[in-house]
Structure 1
Amino acid sequence: MNKRFLTIAAALSMGVALTACSGGGSEEKTGGSSVANADKPLVWYNRQPSNSSTGELDMDALNFNKDTYYVGFDANQGAELQGQMIKDYIEKNIDTLDRNGDGVIGYVLAIGDVGHNDSIARTRGVRKALGTAVEKDGEIVSDPAGINNDGKSKNVQDGSLEINGKTYTVRELASQEMKNSSGATWDAATAGNTIGTWTASFGEEVDVVASNNDGMGMSMFNAWSKENKVPTFGYDANSDAVAAIAEGYGGTISQHADVQAYLTLRVLRNALDGVDIDTGIGTKDDAGNVLTDDVYTYNKDQRSYYALNVAVTADNYKDFLDSTVTYAPVSNQLGEKDHAKKSVWLNIYNASDNFLSSTYQPLLEKYDDLLNLDVEYIGGDGQTESNITNRLGNPDKYDAFAINMVKTDNAASYTGILK
């Protein structure tokens, strides 16, 4: 298999695109017919083409051709689940949670990317569950509160929880987007540094740490929360975060990466085979692969597949310790006779992203074998699309494409190359 994950350093030394399978020319033979690049199967994954300011889906990108789809997870369902998980933990552990006994449950929130739909949904989910949300134009405000230990921010309000006959105030003490000096968002190192800054000023007021993902959550846990025995909640069910639940990490959300990774490559496989898109998804394929409707949903209008989420807590974390195990119902090998080997160009927006590099890519690498796909993995720097698109210099060489944008607004940076 040609599974070369290209580091940024290697890309800089080598310059442009790397070789994969198949010949050149503006068109190529795929499945016995001549296919233009603009007509080749395309899947957007993990970052749904959309307006980063309004969240409106980019339907031009989602309808780029008849074989274009998006694969992700149900962001709103997962966000609500995370918020409820945190609320449940507070209610169950209230006797030991209010560290300074002031009757205020204070939490801090690490925001991944203020313009990312998933980040927006998770911020809203936490605020809604804890009663700290304020609305503007009918939507919960997802902007950072900044420093708010005085409770005066306009982006949040004080909530309240009645537990065991006592009313507690809930306050978002601080929140900010975790962006580094180079512009990369969801930055774990920034989160680790920020928790130090916050707690140096009002550490005794912090009773809960919440994060839009486990990468930032674990950075804060290791930097401060673990030693101070403050529960930290993340999202993604990364292996290190799940293991840390035994050491006091509060919990995380599994977005069924095993199902997402399968769907990412399965929709391409089906398009390349010229079979119904539901094959091996809602309908059993010739190898017996099939998903049940309790692990995914499909929105036809949005041309989008969404995996459903599961809360991972102290009650069930042992079932999630290895996040790179393929999902058993769709782990059957396809026969190469009926499913000929095809080449796929696939990028990961940031080679340093914890979830994508330690969970998603290892799953993809297992599924590409099962689905007879020769995938070339391209790792970006998390900052610019050009760092990635410069390595798609010859799309003629590939049968299909799987794209993970740096910014959700930038679908045209990729489709422009394929037209």
Structure 2
Amino acid sequence: MAPNDSAQTTEEAEDLAAGRRKAARYIVPVAVAGVAAATIGLVPALAASGDPDLPKITAQQLIEKMAASETQQLSGTVKINTDLGLPLGGLAGLGGGSFGPKGGDAKGDGSSAAPESKLMELASGSHTLRVAADGPDRAKVSILENAAEYSLIHNGDEVWAYDSASNEAFHSKDAGTADGKDRTPPKDLPTTPKEFADEALKAADDTTSVTVGGTARVAGRDAYQLVIKPKQSGSTIGSIKIAVDAKNGVPLKFTLSSTSGGKAVIDAGFTKVDFSKPAASTFDFSPPKGAKVTEGDELEKGKGAKNHEDFKNHEDFKGPKDFKGSEDFKGLNVIGEGWTSIAKIEVPGGQGLSAPKGGDVPPEASKFLDALGDKVDGKFGSGTVFKTRLINALVTDDGTVYVGAVTKDTLVKAANEGK
């Protein structure tokens, strides 16, 4: 690769910041659990084609190119690989579902096709997706599995999700319906390089270095490499690379690397992409004969959400109001800024991982939890740090949690200064 010269004057730096803000207008809202965020080893397959020789471009110009892209039609195949270094199978078990037989209550209420749980599976392991889009009102994402397929389809004011493994479907109305209620299922994780890139650009502020790091070939397309790095020390994020189509400005590949080294924590990229208009039939869907169909309104009214209600009414946790502050989680404080921001949360009852009075936690369970983390001490007292390759959390023995994409030492320092 032949990196481009990205040295900038003060005036260019201000223009770059303005470009970031402009790019942010195109962000697809995504609720990233533990990341967001989140990406597959495409490099070996692509390296043989060589890096294209493209005209030089600055980081500011490349971000402006992304922001100005008018491409709204595409179809293709995306590969996502996520390696957060989580124990016990990663997040797949955690996100395995509040609904239906795969994670619902004993009665099997709800739907295994509900997007809230299904998309969480992308937070761990390798996945192949087929994606298609035709403007803001038509989109389809299909997760290809062994002898099965899960699809989420948005067509006008209709949203359908279908799980072929269980022959179950989920149906909801999109925002902007006659009654003004937004019933669009929440999207837990990004599913395309653009959505990953949009999330990363949110963090592009004065604590961030943004440069152009050469060129690449992705899915047969020439691309520039936008490189985003923290200027601060203490972050677990080493760098983010976004391969941007040299012709139309569409992100083709997203790679997030950790300061710990090794393979990428998140690597998502197109292996095939076509920017022509998808066939209208791509977004058509009718439930197959015999399929169980769950309406979004049913889950709103509590049908199939029994586990959620049971959790809210549990004697040890009555919902967000139990956190210091209010029902809006105002007890959550953010320490620091930029890439080393840390969330400080006061646990209800002021108790950490130690067994409560009455000995409800068996000694074996406490030892198991201790084995998953590192015991630490400081001015704050003592606690346990639970680590992944991206997100780390310090749980103090007196019931305070410090969590962020930062190193163990940074968490301990924040806890010491928080006393």
TM bucket, shorter chain: under 0.3
TM-score by length of 1: 0.24
TM-score by length of 2: 0.24
Larger strand proportion, structure 1 or 2?
2
Larger helix proportion, structure 1 or 2?
1
Q: Which structure has the higher relative contact order (CA within 8 Å, separation 6+)?
A: 1
